[in-house]
Structure 1
Amino acid sequence: MLFTDRLKQKVQPIIEEIYKDDFIQGLIDGDISKEALKHYLKADSKYLNEFAKVYALLIPKINSKSELKFLLEQIEFASSGEVGAHQILADYIGESYQEIIKDGSWYPTADHYIKHMYYNAYAHDDVAYTVAAMAPCPYVYRKLAQMAIERNDFSEDHELKAWFEFYYKGMDELMDILDNWLNDFSQHNSEEAIAVVERNFLESTVHERNFFKMAHQIEDWEFEVNQYEEA
């Protein structure tokens, strides 16, 4: 069994839970709150900007022109290509996308997730460590879209069907490249190193679940200030 096949087998129960969670079910049922979607867009727009920057950090670590071309393409997609999916949600909300995201913030869960990727980009010379932390993002979205489309009979006028279709199409080539990167790493490195890469993939899959939960729960920072009164 290929290394990435084993990874995907291990994370499938997590993806099933993401699918059953309130955020994805709300998209499927078409009854998700607009506040949850706005929260998601504010966080995801900032997340994707950082996602592109993490890809950029990998450029000095690669040698081939094909790998450079791939990274540049992914930087472009993360920084602008995914706006199409965001626009679908903004249209459902009925507000300007730019107005929704202009006051986006680093909520705790999103902050934790992106720092997981940055850590691996700075801590390891081999790109596989970072790729393993990044790959669950496109993989989880592609898998959720597939599950939603195959398990539901969406009407043609379903307002959020297009969001699932966006991620259902055109993700296979990206995943093939990421899979090849990870599988090659697994063939030339120690069991200890492979275990770290595997852990990165699993952790990011959990981060994906928490990201959707964060949006549904309208998560924000809670700062408690203890006030002491003089006796």
Structure 2
Amino acid sequence: MAFSDRLLEGGEPIWDAQKNHPFVRELAAGTLEEAAFLHWVRQDYRYLLDYARVFAIAGSKARDEETMTHLFGVAHEILDFEMDLHREFAADYGIAPAELETVEKAPTCVAYTNFLVRTAHEGSLAAIAAAIYPCGQGYLDIAEYMADLADGDHRYTPFIEKYTSEEFREAVDWMRTFVDRCGERYPGEREAMEQAFLTSAKLEHRFWEMAYTQEGWELETDADAP
């Protein structure tokens, strides 16, 4: 069994939880509340800035030129293309780029990006590979599930099409191969890879919840207390 398949097998309950989350199911049906989707757009925009940083840090740790080149290239692609997609989503709903750039991260977004950046700085290349994998494979798998659930086109169809596109599939294929290669080359890192993978997968699930509940930093005041 490929190491990436072993990771996915261990994360199957988390994948199932994601597929059953109301954000996912309602987006697939086109009935998701607009405010929840826009919360995802804003928070994922902030997430992607750090996701790009993680790829860049991974590139600096790579030992061969091909891997280094690809990782730096992915960082550039995220900044140059994927964030453009979020700006397009935002523009469709009247959100200016300047607003996206000043959005405060919600607690779950902080937790996820802090975990990724800390793993990138402190962990091995193998651990980084495992930590970034749930975002790629997860979005592909969830978007394919959404495509199966969807009954015709609706306002969220571009989201589904983006994450089931051939370009995105190719990106995920590379990530999967990267994980397998690290698992083979660094068998002593496999336990750390499993832990990194599962932590990111759990945070992926929490990210849907964060968007659906429009999580923020609201504080309970004395007046709110029972």
1-side partners of 2:131 and 2:150: how far apart?
33
Structure 1 partner of 2:140: 142
The 5 A counterparts of 1:6-45 are 6-45=6-45
Q: 1:41, 1:100 within 8 Å by CA — same for their partners in 2?
A: no
1:131 and 2:129 correspond: yes
Amino acid of the residue matched to residue 119 of structure 2? N
Moved more, 19-28 or 133-142: 19-28
Tell me the CA shift for residue 222 of structure 1: 3.9
Q: 2:129, 2:182 within 8 Å by CA — same for their partners in 1?
A: no
Distance 1:108 1:179, change over 3 A: same
Structure 1 partner of 2:151: 154
Tell me the CA shift for residue 184 of structure 1: 2.3
2-side partners of 1:16 and 1:215: how far apart?
18
Structure 1 stretches lacking a partner, 5+ long: 227-231
Tell me the CA shift for residue 183 of structure 1: 1.7
1-side partners of 2:184 and 2:101: how far apart?
45
Tell me the CA shift for residue 180 of structure 1: 2.3
Larger radius of gyration: 1
CA RMSD of aligned residues (A): 2.2
TM-score, normalised to structure 1, is 0.86
2-side partners of 1:15 and 1:225: how far apart?
36
Structure 2 partner of 1:229: none
1-side partners of 2:84 and 2:25: how far apart?
21
Q: How many residues align?
A: 221
Structure 2 stretches lacking a partner, 5+ long: none
2-side partners of 1:15 and 1:89: how far apart?
25
2-side partners of 1:190 and 1:69: how far apart?
24
The 5 A counterparts of 1:199-218 are 199-218=195-214
2-side partners of 1:221 and 1:10: how far apart?
32
TM-score, normalised to structure 2, is 0.88
Distance 1:84 1:152, change over 3 A: farther
